[in-house]
Amino acid sequence: AAWYRFRADVSVLPGEVHALYVPRGGDRLTVFVNGRLVGSTAEPGGEAMNTWKRPLLFTLPPAALVAGENVIHIRLEGVKEHYSGLSQVAFGPQAALRDAYWQRLTLQSMGPVGLAAALGLLGIFFLLLWSRRRDDSTYALFGVASIVWGVRNVMDVLFHLALPQPHWEIAKTALYFLFVGLLCLFCLRFVGAALPRYERLLRGAMAASPLVLYALLPWVSVLTSSRIVLLVMLGFVVPPLLVVTYKALRERSLGAVLITLAGVVAFAFGIYDWAAVGSPGMFDSVRLVPYAALFFTTAVGWLLAHRFLQAYQRIEQMNVALDERVALKSAALLHNMEKLEQAKAEAEAANAAKSRFLAAASHDLRQPLHALGLFAAELAARERTPGNQTLVARIGQSVHALDTMFNELLDLSQLDAGKVKVALRHFPVQEIFDRLMTDFLPRALEKGLQLRIRPTRHWCESDPIHLERILRNFVSNAIRYTSRGGVLVACRIRGKRLWLEVRDTGVGLAEDNCEKIFEEYYQLANPERDRNKGLGLGLAIVKRLADLLGERLVVKSAPGRGSLFALRTRQAPAAVSEDAATANRQADFAQGRHLVALVEDDRLVSMAMEGLLAERGFVVAAGASYAETQAALRALGRAPDIVIADYRLRGDETGVAVARRLRQDYAANLPVLLLTGESAPEDMADVAAGEFPVLRKPVRPERLFDEIANLLPPAGGNPRQLLRVVVPEGNSRGM
| 474 in any annotated domain | yes
CATH number (domain holding residue 461): 3.30.565.10
* pLDDT for 535: 53
Last residue of a domain, one of 301, 318, 342: 301
Cβ–Cβ < 8 Å for 534, 408: yes
DSSP readout, 651-712?
TT-BHHHHHHHHHHHS-TT--EEEEE----GGGGGGGTT-SS-EEESS--HHHHHHHHHHHS
C-alpha–C-alpha distance, residues 82 and 223, integer Å: 7
Q: Is the pLDDT of residue 38 over 50?
A: yes
Q: Give the angle 639-645-650 at the CA atoms, nearest 5°.
A: 115
DSSP readout, 594-648?
-EEEEE-S-HHHHHHHHHHHHHTT-EEEEESSHHHHHHHHHHHT---SEEEEESB
Q: Is the pLDDT of residue 446 over 80?
A: yes
* pLDDT for 374: 72
C-alpha–C-alpha distance, residues 289 and 273, integer Å: 7
Q: Is the pLDDT of residue 412 over 50?
A: yes
Count of beta carbons in the 10 Å neighbourhood of residue 319? 11
Cβ–Cβ < 8 Å for 563, 506: yes
| Same domain for 432 and 283 | no
The answer to whether the Cα torsion of 280, 281, 285, 288 is positive or negative is negative
| 530 in any annotated domain | yes
C-alpha–C-alpha distance, residues 318 and 327, integer Å: 14
Question: Counting Cβ atoms within 10 Å, is residue 685 exposed (0-12), middle (13-18) or buried (19+)?
Answer: exposed
C-alpha–C-alpha distance, residues 23 and 284, integer Å: 8
pLDDT tier, 733 (very low <50, low <70, confident <90, very high otherwise): very low
Give the structural domain span for 435. Answer: 421-572
* pLDDT for 671: 93
- The winner for highest mean pLDDT among 305-309, 344-348, 456-460 is 456-460
C-alpha–C-alpha distance, residues 670 and 622, integer Å: 17
| Same domain for 136 and 198 | yes
| 322 in any annotated domain | no
AA identity, residue 42: A
| 294 in any annotated domain | yes
Question: Counting Cβ atoms within 10 Å, is residue 591 exposed (0-12), middle (13-18) or buried (19+)?
Answer: exposed
Q: Nearest 10 degrees: CA dihedral of 275, 281, 283, 287?
A: -40
AA identity, residue 145: A
C-alpha–C-alpha distance, residues 466 and 468, integer Å: 5
| Same domain for 44 and 26 | yes
Cβ–Cβ < 8 Å for 373, 404: no
AA identity, residue 232: V
Last residue of a domain, one of 511, 537, 572: 572
Q: Is the pLDDT of residue 91 over 80?
A: yes
How many structural domains compose the chain?
Answer: 3
Q: Is the pLDDT of residue 600 over 80?
A: yes
| Same domain for 171 and 283 | yes
Q: Is the pLDDT of residue 95 over 60?
A: yes
| 331 in any annotated domain | no
Cβ–Cβ < 8 Å for 673, 705: no
* pLDDT for 45: 39
| Same domain for 468 and 563 | yes
* pLDDT for 503: 92
Question: Counting Cβ atoms within 10 Å, is residue 202 exposed (0-12), middle (13-18) or buried (19+)?
Answer: buried
AA identity, residue 207: A
Task: Return the minimum-mean-pLDDT range out of 185-194, 403-412, 561-570.
Answer: 403-412
Task: State mean pLDDT over 69-82.
Answer: 78
Model pTM greater than 0.85? no
Cβ–Cβ < 8 Å for 107, 35: no
For residue 590, how far is the Cα from the chain centroid? Answer: 68
| 705 in any annotated domain | no
Give the CA diameter of the chain.
Answer: 165
Cβ–Cβ < 8 Å for 72, 5: yes
| Same domain for 275 and 142 | yes
| 306 in any annotated domain | no
| Same domain for 64 and 179 | no
Q: Is the pLDDT of residue 728 over 80?
A: no
Which 8-state DSSP code applies to residue 62? G
| φ, ψ at 88 (rounded to 5°) | -65, 145
pLDDT digits over 102-158, tens only? 888 887 777 777 877 887 888 888 788 788 777 778 888 888 988 888 888 777 777
| φ, ψ at 49 (rounded to 5°) | -90, 170
Instruction: State yes or no: cis peptide before 681, omega within 30 of 0.
Output: no
Chain-wide mean pLDDT for the chain? 78
pLDDT tier, 596 (very low <50, low <70, confident <90, very high otherwise): very high
In a 3-state reduction of DSSP, which class is residue 256?
helix
pLDDT tier, 623 (very low <50, low <70, confident <90, very high otherwise): very high
Last residue of a domain, one of 57, 75, 101: 101
β-pair type (28-33, 36-40): antiparallel
> Residue 625's closest CA among 593, 607, 598, 594?
598
* pLDDT for 200: 93
Count of beta carbons in the 10 Å neighbourhood of residue 127? 16
| Same domain for 241 and 124 | yes
pLDDT digits over 274-297, tens only? 777 666 555 566 666 766 666 777
In the chain, the percentage of residues whose pLDDT exceeds 90 is 12
Task: Return the minimum-mean-pLDDT range out of 61-65, 92-96, 420-424.
Answer: 420-424
pLDDT digits over 629-679, tens only? 999 999 888 899 999 999 888 888 899 999 999 999 998 889 999 988 776
Helices (runs of H) and strands (runs of E) counted in the chain: 17, 19
* pLDDT for 731: 38
Task: Return the minimum-mean-pLDDT range out of 255-269, 284-298, 492-506, 703-717.
Answer: 284-298
State the angle between helix axes of 289-382 and 386-416 in degrees (0 to 180), rounded to the nearest 10: 150
The answer to whether the Cα torsion of 676, 681, 685, 691 is positive or negative is positive
Please give the helix or strand (H or E) that residue 453 lies within, else none.
strand 450-453
| Same domain for 291 and 143 | yes
> Residue 414's closest CA among 463, 363, 477, 357?
357
| φ, ψ at 9 (rounded to 5°) | -90, 125
Task: Return the minimum-mean-pLDDT range out of 479-493, 505-519, 608-622, 652-666.
Answer: 505-519
| Same domain for 279 and 201 | yes
Task: Return the minimum-mean-pLDDT range out of 352-361, 487-496, 632-641.
Answer: 352-361
| 94 in any annotated domain | yes
Where is pLDDT greater, at 582 or 407?
407
C-alpha–C-alpha distance, residues 494 and 69, integer Å: 107
Contacts of residue 331, defined as CB under 8 A and 6 or more positions apart, other chains included, come to: none
| Same domain for 41 and 164 | no
Q: Is the pLDDT of residue 58 over 90?
A: no
CATH number (domain holding residue 40): 2.60.120.260
| Same domain for 248 and 146 | yes
Q: Is the pLDDT of residue 585 over 60?
A: no
